[in-house]
Structure 1
């Protein structure tokens, strides 16, 4: 289980500053390839946040999101900023949380027209449930002097493309209305971040404040007035969500520790039974008739994990033979498995981290196969313990 921070990424400096204002004790963090982050805590809490600027576009957002996930092994990734509303379904200043993300530019051009071939990523169930809970509590928004009405939180699809959408009547607008009319908002980064999270096994939430209506009025004076307010609203909800994610993560970790004595490092149930036997124990101290135990659990060894990974390889082969796993996924999974096995033996902090990230990526790759994904979870935890 990750002990990392919550990663928050934005596309614009205005959005970055809106999040940054909610953090304290900021320290710079430089990735080895030059990407700069700031790591701090949400004001008044112990929630750690790694904040980064991804720049515009799905491609850039995907690269920086993947880099942040590998660098920090985060509890979750939140992409925070502004977006345009579609079909007047959301008011200016409202916050839209993506239940799923459309990469709407996929298609095939044929003699009878352009046919849609979208990709879609659903938000993780637990993360969506937590966001819905916080929206019902309705205690996240900052009071805004001089403005009536509290921003609402809306849940629905977000469309992510590769161009700035600013028309109701353009060919692009008609295409979106025809094929993606359930989308509440439109922007240019969510698909890249969602894909990076999917492949890396990191939960992702897309949080957007509505700053315009994508209807030809973008860059107007009214739009410039709403951008900072929409960014501030998205940042406020993201900060609240980040805090609750960390609290929930810590509670889950504590619950797992309570149950750890009944399972080995790979999650297999262990039962010890003695009948009419004399049992020898090693005690830390003995006071009267009370024995005070000092347990020293055995750390998982590299060969234990290698053996589990090789057994997992056999299970992948069975899924391929049963045609429940396609050939491309199988080959990608074998590549990740080989990479993980090679890095297990080094047992250094860097190699351990590399193994964890490779196994997380593998878990994302087989996410559509719950049985396989569940088998990888204890291996990820065991890999983190090796160093």
Structure 2
């Protein structure tokens, strides 16, 4: 009998580990490819009844009437409104966020959630593991000891390694099943204050009306996935009366369901644009279909404005990967603006001063393919006009990025962008 040499056994072990690592990387980076792969062509205008019917059919449900939306700007307003709602809770709180850290903001929310649990409110919280890795463990211990039921989403474990790269990027808070919050802001000290004092520029939204049940359902799907516990009683889903006149529709996207609904939502809306597309996002990495949708809009004579963070306010490697794709957009007349005062973190998508999408999703492959995201669609001219005014106000603090700057960017910057693209940091 031939005895294997020790070095051959070691090589075999290394090869096996390399194979396992390659499989895990592939599973994390390439979810099921059930998404739109052909151009979205002739679509009714977004303000038409025909578009509403098409949108409802393709995205799974019709808009819910009778809702009210309050716009919250920057950390000062956003956190004050959320903490006030938590303090007034009497039945239940469900809370889901990507980033959670910081002594001031993270500490205030940990204390507020713990206080609510101690006074008898049922509190369920989902913190993304990667987004909350900076948090003081004492904050989690404080909440657990107070009775907060808590999940660290995708915390590393052997049975979840293939899904580790699939993060929850949602920003959800629902109080007593009656008041909901969503938008761009995480719960962290970087959002403290206002752009004038160094805090991130962001937008968030307080909602009342029947659509709050849909936000609650979005949370419940991830809670069920993480705990196998179904929360369904009136404590979480009370009867909801009309609180306003807005029609609202929640669109959830998850790598598990594979249909990439938010990407489909954006492709459909841009195809329905007739006058103006305004897109604000902190992370812009368009795939070929999004690029084609923007270029098609320009060919139809639609104005297109993109509002992004300025250099230095997000990863240089990601920015260069994104910037490598800007050439055809700039040549087609797409206007790209970079917000200067601080990091721009709002996610705001406006079509023809009528169609609005707000929520957690960025315009990049990670939000479209790998993250759990929740966005709302609201089709209302008054709300769209109010948000367009904020978009245009932010443009006053932005600098236009011109085609000449793109054409003369340095070779090292171009190479950094291509390297980033090739190793997939944009995913």
Normalising by structure 2, we get a TM-score of 0.22
Normalising by structure 1, we get a TM-score of 0.24
Which has more radius of gyration?
Answer: 1
